[in-house]
């Protein structure tokens, strides 16, 4: 069965100036032999959607249909796809293709593809429109290799942020082997941070929420944090010096990350997943004095994204979300800019006609 | 035998203003039961001596006798020291004491002692003078645990820089398991860098000297570098992108370290050993895009310092040095400030009366 989906379908397209989004009709490519046609139910609204819509990183291509936290159902599959039945609950994250041949791809770490992966939206493609179009849309056609299965026990709207915020935190937590007996700090309580707390807790670590906002403490504990460390409290910071086995830094903006480095034990790592680009002067003293590490991590590969979803299914982990109609997307962007969301907006694509 | 060494002995003391050094008489503590009295033959002149003499780090205490690359012979030992015969060639590095009880000390990594180690000079002590006094001196009294044995086949003057420059590069190279099959970049060709090249080569790695100065290429090859990468050559830098398993950054001053990060393979580390303090804005992009790490490392523990010396003995590795009379120390400091030394000055203490 080779279904054409080239008739125009509804989507929301961004304009760079002020990140306004409005309805548009786009074309998807026909369903190829290795493809899956997905009816999109929900799509999380990632902070990077806002950056991309605003062209903050200078890499945006327009017209743009944002959205890479996609949850939907299989509508049809190409002839060579045998393991995804129609009606199956599936997800699509940040990537829809990669070279499949480099060392990273062979290691199931497509996010580090040496030749560059294809982003779910705003990336060049041979598809109609010559750009990939994301999840603020009714449908999407994706190669089977880049489609993951979503446990049916998870609420689909709340599960959608797992595809980006979830894997972005789960991947470094598991790469650095977070587990029982370890003390893990999650820095920043937003879309990424709240997932980091949930996963670190479920992985068995003692979790400390590190925040500048004492009022976030109660929420952090509800999400799974064992303790709360207010980073502006110099005495508390000193008391926690050299106590952490791992720090997950989810702060999305430039900040003085050096203040957290002395919290790490010798030979331990702070992994930055929130802020991309120059963030502050690196002070080498805490690195040299404790053989400490600063690292970064990018989303996750397809294999570990599937593992993360399976783990989330077993532990019943989803995001805390506010489901909105597509017409509210511009208002949601404004609220995101003032961090007025707990902790992720999710578009209900049933409200897109 | 418990020999008193409290009679004044000759040393060179620093004054902060302009780092001038002049002759002075100091007292050493009597030789205790676990102590070793060492007649100093040679002492390397480390760049940190200059920083300390100038109080660049705000931690200097005066009067100061610099010097922590000490090579000498055992003159006498305390009653409980049974493994160091009189006349034995020994060395003393940057540390002369630590708490001996914390996890770091128990792991033989005294340089990361949780309670703070005692530096070989300018550190508080119960000894006469209430400060430790270093190796620009005729004699030193050191606890046996902080004395290392120096292979007799090594030239003692050229071996002295092993005690700081040597271990500072050997420790991270071995911690990050540098060996055959790996491509290692040594950034910066000075006192640390030239030791890094020698050790990385002897450990079996393919060594690339990374420098801003093309004219250093010939010397780098003589020291053991297989290739030379000029970091100001954008085309060459691009050709080496993602090729390195490890980078040892020995640049002693603030600099844009980010330009080297893209040279690293995924999951690889650049270890900074040269510049301490704020050096440049951290750009998280190369970290995030390749799960790369920036780390630091401080000298080495006593156990690994002994291992390094044994390794140097087997591979006949010493520093390239310029031996000077003690009267030339102030001129040497001036030359060091303009990097006019290949690659380490060493004081001949026989010239100190």
pLDDT digit string, tens, across residues B336-349: 989 899 999 999 99
Is A129 inside a domain boundary? yes
Please indicate whether, in this complex, the C-beta atoms of B288 and A298 are within 8 angstroms of each other.
yes
Residue A2 forms part of a structural domain: no
pLDDT reported for residue B18: 63
Instruction: Please indicate whether, in this complex, the C-beta atoms of A295 and B293 are within 8 angstroms of each other.
Output: yes
Rounded to the nearest 5 degrees, what angle is found at the Cα of B321, between the Cα atoms of B317 and B323? Answer: 130
The answer as to whether A323 is a domain residue is yes
What is the reported pLDDT for B1?
A: 39
Given B296, B314, B329, the domain boundary residue is: B296
Contact A281 B282 (CB under 8 A): yes
How many CB atoms are closer than 10 A to CB A93?
Answer: 29
* Chain B residue numbers touching A282 (CB-CB < 8 A): 257, 278-282, 294
Same domain, A334 and A271: no
Section B222-240 average pLDDT: 97
Which pLDDT does position A7 carry in this prediction? Answer: 76
Name the band, by pLDDT with cuts 50, 70 and 90, for residue A1: very low
- Same domain, yes or no: A157 and A13: yes
Q: B214 with B268, same domain?
A: yes
Same domain, B276 and B155: no
Count of domains forming chain A: 2
Range of B170's domain? Answer: 166-296
CATH number at residue B206: 3.40.50.720
| Rounded mean pLDDT, B72-92 | 97
Task: Work out the average pLDDT over A170-184.
Answer: 98
Q: Does A241 touch chain B (CB under 8 A)?
A: no
Residue with the bigger pLDDT between A129 and A317: it is: A317
Q: How confident is the model at residue B56 (pLDDT cuts 50, 70, 90)?
A: confident
CB contact under 8 A, A281 and B278: yes
Residues A35, A155, single domain; the answer is yes
pLDDT-based confidence at B17, cuts 50/70/90? low
Structure tokens, A92: 């699509």
Q: What is the mean pLDDT of residues B321-339?
A: 94
Nearest CA in chain A to B257: A282
Choose the closest CB to A242 out of B114, B175, B272. Answer: B114
Residue B285 lies in a domain: yes
Whole-model pTM? Answer: 0.95
Nearest Cα of chain B lies from the Cα of A304 at a distance, in angstroms, of 15
Q: So what's the pLDDT on residue A16?
A: 67
**B349 contacts B40 by C-beta, under 8 angstroms:** yes
pLDDT value for B16: 67
Which residue among A242, A272, A284 sits closest to B275, beta carbon to beta carbon? A284
Q: Is A173 on the interface with B (CB under 8 A)?
A: no
Same domain assignment for residues B159 and B170: no
Q: Is residue B270 domain-shared with residue B131, that is, in the same domain?
A: no
Instruction: Look at residue B6 in the predicted model and tell me its pLDDT.
Output: 62
pLDDT at site A28: 92
Q: For residues A93 and A74, give the distance between their C-alpha atoms in angstroms, rounded to a whole number.
A: 15
Write out pLDDT tens, residues B304-314: 999 999 999 99
Task: Please provide the average confidence, as pLDDT, over all residues in chain A.
Answer: 95
**Is B24 in the same domain as B153?**
yes
- Give yes or no for A104 touching B (CB within 8 A): yes
**B306 and B280, same domain (yes or no):** no
Distance CA B282, CA B305 (A): 32
pLDDT at position B133 is 97
Q: Do B257 and A109 touch (CB under 8 A)?
A: no
pLDDT in tens, A191-203: 999 999 999 999 9
Chain B residue numbers with beta carbons less than 8 Å from the beta carbon of A288 are: 272-273, 276, 296-298
In a domain, B4, yes or no: no
pLDDT of residue B9: 86
What CATH code is carried by the domain that includes residue B154? 3.90.180.10
| Same domain, residue pair B147 and B177 | no
Tell me how close the Cα of B295 comes to any Cα of chain A, in angstroms: 4
Q: What is the mean pLDDT of residues A157-164?
A: 98
Domain boundary among B296, B328, B343: B296
Question: How would you write chain B as a 3-class SS string?
Answer: CCCCCCCCEEEEEECCHHHCEEEEEECCCCCCCCEEEEEEEEEEECHHHHHHHCCCCCCCCCCECCCCCEEEEEEEECCCCCCCCCCCEEEECCEEECCCCCHHHHCCCHHHCCCCCEECCCCECCCCCCECCCCCECEEEEEHHHCEECCCCCCHHHHHHHHCHHHHHHHHHHHCCCCCCCEEEEECCCHHHHHHHHHHHHCCCEEEEEECCHHHHHHHHHHCCCEEEECCCHHHHHHCCCCEEEEEECCCCCCCCHHHHCCEEEEEEEEECCCCCEEEEEECHHHHHHCCEEEECCCCCHHHHHHHHHHHHHHCCCCCEEEEEHHHHHHHHHHHHCCCCCCEEEEEHHHCC
Does the pLDDT value for residue A17 go beyond 70? Answer: no
Same-domain pairing of A193 and A205: yes
Query: Has residue A304 been placed in a domain?
Result: no
> Which of these, B202, B63, B87, lies nearest to B150 by C-alpha position?
B87
> Last residue of a domain, which of B296, B313, B343?
B296
Q: What DSSP state is assigned to residue A16?
A: S
Count CB neighbours of A153 within 10 A: 11
Split at pLDDT 50, 70, 90, the class of B15 is confident
Mean pLDDT of A139-143: 97
- Would you call A282 and B282 a contact, using CB atoms and an 8 Å cutoff? yes
Q: Are residues A341 and A197 in the same domain?
A: no
Whether A3 is covered by a domain: the verdict is no
Predicted local confidence at residue B57, as pLDDT: 85
Which pLDDT does position B20 carry in this prediction?
82
Contacts of A188 in chain B (CB under 8 A): none
pLDDT average, residue stretch A157-167: 98
Model pLDDT, residue B259? 97
pLDDT in tens, A50-82: 989 999 888 999 999 999 999 999 999 999 999
This complex has an ipTM of: 0.95
Taking an 8 Å cut-off on Cβ atoms, the answer to whether A277 and B284 are in contact is: yes
B296 at interface of A, judged by CB pairs closer than 8 A: yes
Query: Does the structure show a pLDDT above 70 at B3?
Result: no
């Amino acid at each position: 069965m080779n279904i054409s989906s080239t008739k125009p379908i509804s989507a929301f397209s961004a304009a760079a100036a002020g990140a306004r989004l409005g309805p548009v009709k786009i074309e998807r490519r026909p369903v190829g032999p290795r493809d899956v046609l997905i009816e999109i139910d929900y799509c999380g609204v990632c902070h990077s959607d806002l950056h991309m819509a605003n062209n903050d990183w200078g890499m945006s291509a327009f017209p743009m249909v944002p959205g890479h936290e996609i949850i939907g159902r299989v509508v049809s599959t190409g002839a060579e796809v045998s393991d995804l039945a129609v009606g199956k609950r599936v997800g699509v994250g940040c990537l829809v293709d990669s070279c499949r041949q480099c060392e990273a791809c062979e290691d199931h770490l497509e996010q580090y593809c040496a030749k560059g992966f294809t982003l779910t939206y705003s990336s060049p493609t041979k598809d109609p429109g010559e750009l990939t179009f994301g999840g603020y849309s009714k449908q999407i056609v994706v190669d089977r290799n880049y489609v993951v299965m979503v446990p049916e026990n998870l609420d689909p709207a709340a599960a959608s942020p797992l595809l980006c915020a979830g894997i972005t935190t789960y991947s470094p937590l598991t790469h650095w082997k977070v587990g029982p007996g370890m003390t893990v700090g999650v820095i920043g309580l937003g879309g990424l941070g709240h997932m980091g707390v949930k996963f670190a807790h479920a992985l068995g670590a003692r979790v400390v929420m590190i925040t500048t906002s004492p009022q976030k403490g109660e929420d952090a504990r509800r999400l799974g944090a064992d303790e709360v460390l207010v980073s502006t409290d110099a005495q508390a910071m000193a008391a926690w010096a050299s106590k952490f086995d791992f720090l997950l830094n989810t702060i999305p903006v430039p900040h003085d990350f050096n203040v957290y480095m002395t919290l790490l034990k010798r030979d331990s790592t702070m992994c930055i997943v929130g802020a991309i680009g120059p963030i502050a002067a690196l002070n080498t003293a805490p690195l040299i004095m404790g053989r400490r590490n600063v690292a970064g991590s990018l989303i996750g590969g397809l294999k570990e994204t599937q593992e993360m979803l399976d783990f989330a299914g077993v532990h019943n982990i989803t995001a805390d979300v506010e489901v909105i109609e597509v017409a509210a997307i511009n208002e949601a962007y404004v609220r995101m800019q003032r961090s007025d969301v707990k902790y992720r907006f999710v578009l209900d694509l049933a409200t897109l006609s």
